[in-house]
Chain A
């Protein structure tokens, strides 16, 4: 009988745990090597493709050119100057978004009537691209810093509130009953039961909100502005300076990742106190 058995050959025992023998994954330490290798190979191929004229330099730039462009942007102080503006705008929008979004979201999760009142509006904003409001916000607040801060705020606050609400709602049934049984009052319930229980989800909301906020501030600056990293991207983009454009995009990606990573560490610390 033929059965076309083409399962992965069993791995040599001694390298794989028992139930991972056939057709199953296992997590090895080679990951870093592969990630690094992949990046190095792609960069090298990219550079070589350029060297041999396979792709157009103007379209694709080269890794070396990007590094050069980055060096120029850094040494001229141009990047740092604009980054300061962007950072200020980002935090001026993000911090109030946390301050407003977390309590409002928690309140929505806690009090049924408040949730029923605000949820449709919030969810509608959550599932629609609030960046669509950008031209409107610019119309109302001008092309200065205010419109950028407002966009960061709007993008972040919705995500943060939705997650804070979800966090409370996930906690509630499990813990509130127990707390009720011990006659916990409203304040104690909120501070000792709901907040700690919801904290992981709230922190996840902050991370998502921060990610969306970073994109928002860049796009807002891109749309119209006088300085900031987004504006820098815009001006290099208009001159089709692809190397600088790519370097700056990479910088934004790294910054977004860094903020997210920072919030993750913060969240781990915060939740570890609770345990």
Chain B
């Protein structure tokens, strides 16, 4: 079972005047196969929660469990899609997508076959031999997604993956992501500051706020899947969006936002 449990999670950073607690008492549970989004004002520590779930960041308190397993370090059951795609600039797209498998010790044939499959899946067939700098931001992010999927993780952790893209590409990518996710419904934890994106993608939205921040509200998004432009244009979508926007505005204005 690849569900994620956050139990009294606390994250602090070293500040100039001693440790600074950014996240405290973060409680959440992401069910197996669920698509959950974390939203919150910038600087609330939502990315840190995600990185902690990958094991890239050690929490100062509480714990994160994948199934029964407590997270202490990155593992093959999880893969991250980073905000800036963070591809190795000297590698071709094929070699970049194969990178995760390579780190996990897969042999060359396996990893290149799998890489080709996922390049096709994200719609980049024919660009296998290109280098990252030859691709647009959206295409690079597709490569980032393909790289994560190629390792066949049980949990996909996405750290504002579309944050650097223009609005139109962003919408397109969200649709693409859902199409791919629908194929095998991995557990996804998705961090964003885009309200539309959160509503469109998620089964549930965790809203972070407060200082130190925590989950202040959980919103079930009861919209039919597969989701398309019609869903986006619907009345229910608008309601969710308004509610979420009000909440975020409230958390941003009502309580001090963490620096």
Contact = CB atoms under 8 A, between A and B. Distances in A.
Interface stretch (B69-77, B169-177, B198-206): B69-77
Nearest to B45: A18
A13 B56 contact: no
Contact of A13 (B13, B55, B74): B13
Given A4-B105, A14-B14, A22 B57 contact: yes
A19 B159 CA distance: 13
B19 interface: yes
A21 B58 contact: yes
A58 interface: no
B99 to A, nearest CB: 14
Interface residues of B, number: 22
Among B55, B58, B60, B105, find the residue whose CB has the most chain A CB atoms closer than 10 A: B58
A5 B58 contact: no
Nearest to A23: B56
Interface string B59-97: 110000000000011111000000000000000000000
B105 A3 contact: yes
Contacts of B73: 5, 7, 9-10, 22
Contact of B57 (A4, A9, A18): A18
B75 A13 contact: no
B57 A5 contact: no
Contacts of B103: 3
A1 B103 CA distance: 13
B48 interface: yes
A19 B14 CA distance: 11
Contacts of A16: 14
A18 B22 CA distance: 10
Interface in A125-141: none
A22 B59 CA distance: 12
Contacts of B72: 10
Contact of B59 (A2, A3, A13): A13
Given A13-B11, A18-B48, A22-B56, A5 B105 contact: no
Interface in B26-72: 48, 51, 55-60, 72
Contacts of A22: 55-57, 73-74
B57 A10 contact: yes
A10 to B, nearest CB: 4
B151 to A, nearest CB: 10
A1 B106 CA distance: 11
B114 to A, nearest CB: 15
A11 B105 contact: no
Contacts of A239: none
Interface in B153-205: none
A3 B12 contact: no
B44 to A, nearest CB: 13
A151 B140 CA distance: 55
Contacts of B242: none
A17 B13 contact: yes
Contacts of A117: none
A5 to B, nearest CB: 6
B104 interface: yes
A12 B152 CA distance: 30
B58 A17 contact: no
A4 B75 CA distance: 10
Nearest to A16: B14
A15 interface: yes
A11 B58 contact: yes
Nearest to B57: A21
Contacts of B56: 10, 21-22
Given A3-B105, A18-B13, A21-B56, A13 B19 contact: yes
The 5 closest A-B pairs by CB, nearest first: A10-B58, A14-B19, A21-B57, A13-B60, A18-B13
30 contacts: A1-B104, A2-B105, A3-B103, A3-B104, A3-B105, A5-B73, A5-B74, A5-B75, A7-B74, A9-B73, A10-B55, A10-B57, A10-B58, A10-B72, A10-B73, A12-B58, A13-B14, A13-B59, A14-B14, A14-B19, A15-B14, A17-B13, A17-B14, A18-B11, A18-B13, A18-B51, A19-B57, A22-B56, A22-B57, A22-B73
